[in-house]
Structure 1
Amino acid sequence: MKNIAILCDSNPVTKPRPTRLIGMLQDSYNLFVFGKECSPIQGVQTFSFPPSKSASQRSAKEQEELELACKNKDFDKLLYTLNRLVLKKSLLSLQTLDLLIVEDITLLPFALEYKDKHPQAKVMIDLREYYPLEYENDLRWLETFGAFFEYLCSTFLPQVDHALCVSEGIAQKYQEVYGICPSLFLSLPPYSSLSPSKNTKIELIYHGLISPDRESFNLLEIARELKDGIRLNLITLSNHLSFLQDFYSQAQKIPSIRLHQAQKLEEIIPFTNAFDLGLITLKPNGFNNTHALPNKFFEYIQARLGVISTPLPSIKPLIKKYGIGKVSKDFHTQSLIELINSLDLKEIKTFKNNADIASQTLNTQENQKKISNLIAKLLGEKNDLA
């Protein structure tokens, strides 16, 4: 068996893409998974390194020092942190890696350093967003951490052997700016043996992160104007504690909203199977939001839900192709409200039945074939799954 390392600057078992990638590869390769506070993974050798302080945990002085380092282009201070040096030591102690798959661009320099010492090794990166514009509406971020991510992309991306990307729009941007040609690798979940639910009232569900840059208060605006017989269920998380608290405070006052506890990654699809329609409300208020093709879209399909979305360019064609829902006529929240209020149970049943059909192909089995082909090509192997 070939030896593959997966590098995550987080706990991989809490993130959909690395978790599913591990599941797709662990029976065919010897896996070595590196993660920040990495949880044990059965059948996989894991290497854990300590966490670093998040933005909310840093003092004002610490934050100022990091931003100053960015402005001075002293990027090593952000890159070679004490916790990542623990990762580096463990990684370089391995002698026989054939492929390193990088799930977070902050760890790409360490993978390339390994390749420098072991030229036979290949490096692949999974680009989950366009990093230099992650918070593009924040000028201070663009001038500091945005500059850091631009440095990572311009310096290290041209050295990778292959790249994966979550959507065509983001892949095209990387190709235009950095000259790499990523393969589209959709965020497909494992197949779930479920049937569409049967409800007498329309149950909407939104699950996932909420934040100011996603304009997530539009969920509350939608809920306030839902007609009788429609309820909005919410499973929300946020990296902004005060934003989440304010959101919850307002949501609890809206009768058409039902708040649910967070679910584990493997439980989210069976839990949401009880509902009817999955909701996506992103607006084109930044490059990454405009070209998003989020995990939840495919999780809604596996849960046998119809999908109601704004007309995002990566989502609109898929909804039309599979007949699994509708998109609003434009990106205004009022257009989403009008669309939702116009739906009836018969139409929704058709969406859910079509999602049931689409679930047969939009799952990790298809991704497993694709990643196996890519790895075999990189390593010069014959692929038995082709």
Structure 2
Amino acid sequence: MRPKILCISFSDIRADARVLRQLDILAEFGDVTTLGYGDKPDGAADHLRIDSALPSLPQTLTGVALLAVRSFGRLELAAPAVRSAADLAAGRTFDLVVANEARALPLAHHLAAGAPVWGDMHEWAPEERVHVLSWRLLIKPFMRYICAKYLPRTQAVTVVNDSIARLYEHEFGCATATVRNARPFEQLSPSLGSPDTIRLVHSGAAVPGRNLEGMIQAVNLLGPGYSLDFYLVPARDGGKYLRSLESLASGPNKVTFHPPVSPAALPGVLNGYDIGIFSLPPRTRNHALMLPNKFFDFVQARLAIVFSPSVETTRLIEQFDLGAVTEDFSAESLARTLQQFDSSRIAACKANAHSAALELSSKIDEEAEREILRRLLPQA
């Protein structure tokens, strides 16, 4: 009988590229039940759906009061989505439980009932949204409590890059493995440039704090001959933030908002553009140490890349000569950097992305995950 694996993610897994890649590897080793928002993802044998209206943090009046007095032990399973998830999975047994992000760790250990737990922390949990005052005052201490309590008893811990791995090892004393947000190798070639327009593109989530406004401002500072296309997953706000972005896009250059594209289809869609862009001021340590999905999406799409400064992305852009890094995080700096690109430089960077695409694919990351599963599921 194949092992039974539970994969918890408080996200819409069908739109969560990292968890979808994780699910593909999990399915090699057992029958996977997913527990999260949205519809059943491909690759799952079963799916337990949480109502998307339920928050995964204790954002009730009682929850906020308990956060304020640091009564964290009473909050571990108190968030509405966590309570619902516990009820949905009650009575089931699993050979392995995977928790995506720190907020899922208490539930994972509760449902594991002694089975091994793999905690994929993704990024640095205590500072996920530390630029928001309520997070900094209430949620950050709760995340530190969860990490300090549960990471030492979690049999495998993974993160998105080596810089964040060192943070967990230093702060919580846990051994970690790096599983980047790299995606599988794509059989694509660089597209030919347009003779009269440099086509800029950005893909990701339409949520506040991602500096999407700055990218719109930058393209509006450029002279003629530039366009910017967005492929954005709407926030859980009924599209309010996305509409506010659309209202900013009234400058001289063409800014177009497209419906979101599935993670599997994204490189093929992005391949028709010239430069993938992202500028994110380091308001948190996660911002400063970012190595996001979109970086690897742009590489597999064979695009030139322009990012703002960050330890991990700057190293790779420079190592493989993929594009350029802005001087700072301003819209003006992004515009100045983009103006350095002509058709020949874009073609050269696209060619370099093509040469690096295999090395920057998910091959080594998938093997790191398989090694964890061989260790935690020796019978598989």
TM-score by length of 1: 0.88
Mapped to 1, the partners of 2:334 and 2:42 lie a distance apart of 43
Partner residue of 1:66 out of 46, 50, 63: 63
Question: Any idea what the Cα deviations from partners look like across 1:259-314, whole Å, max 9, x if unmatched?
Answer: 22222222221111100110011122221111111100000111111111112101
- Is the partner of 1:297 in helix, strand or coil? helix
The CA deviation at 1:32 is: 1.9
Residue equivalent to 2:204: 208
- 1:222-301 equivalences under 5 Å are 222-239=218-235, 241-301=239-299
2:171 aligned residue = 177
Partner of 2:338: 340
Q: In structure 1, the residue corresponding to 2:106 is in which secondary structure?
A: helix
Take 1:215 and 1:258, find their aligned partners in 2: how far apart are those partners? 17
Contact map agreement 2:233 2:259 (CA 8 A) in 1: no
Q: Whole-Å Cα distance in 2 between the matches of residues 243 and 37 of structure 1?
A: 21
Which residue of 2 is the match for residue 6 of structure 1?
7
1:178-232 deviation per Cα after TM superposition (whole angstroms, max 9, x unaligned) = 1112211111112221111102231110111244423331112201112322222
The equivalent residue for 1:168 is 162
Mapped to 2, the partners of 1:372 and 1:259 lie a distance apart of: 38
Shift of 1:140: 2.5
C-alpha distance in 2 between matches for 1:380 and 1:30 = 12
Alpha-carbon distance in structure 2 between the residues aligned to 1:171 and 1:47? 30
The CA distance in 2 between the partners of 1:266 and 1:153, in whole Å, is 32
Assess, with a 3 A threshold, how the Cα gap between structure 1 residues 96 and 134 changes in structure 2: closer, same or farther: closer
Deviations 1:66-117 (A, max 9, x none): 32121123443462346534533554534451x22211322212322344x3
Judged with a 3 Å threshold, the aligned counterparts in structure 2 of structure 1 residues 81 and 141 are, in CA distance, closer, same or farther, namely closer
Give 1:208's aligned amino acid: G
What is the alpha-carbon distance in structure 2 between the residues aligned to residue 323 and residue 52 of structure 1?
42
- TM-score w.r.t. the length of structure 2 is 0.89
3-state SS of paired residue (1:10) = strand
Could you tell me which of 105, 108, 111 is aligned with 2:108? 111
Distance in 1 (alpha carbons) for counterparts of 2:206 and 2:14: 21
Q: Which residue of 2 aligns with 1:159?
A: 153
Question: Structure 1 residues 50 and 380, CA, compared in 2 at 3 Å: closer, same or farther?
Answer: closer
Contact 1:11 / 1:35 at 8 angstroms: preserved in 2?
A: no
SS in 2 for 1:214: coil
User: Contact (CA 8 Å) 1:11, 1:37: kept in 2 or not?
Assistant: yes
Identity %: 22
- Give the superposition deviation at 1:378: 3.8
Determine the structure 2 residue equivalent to 1:51: 51
What is the total number of aligned residue pairs between the two structures? 373
| Amino acid aligned to 1:146 | K
CA distance in 1, matches of 2:134, 2:85: 30
What runs of 5+ residues in structure 2 fail to find an aligned partner?
A: none
- Distance apart, 1:255 and its partner CA: 2.7
> What are the ranges of 5 or more consecutive residues in structure 1 without an aligned counterpart?
none
SS at match of 2:31: strand
Shift of the 253–79 alpha-carbon distance from structure 1 to 2, 3 Å rule, reads farther
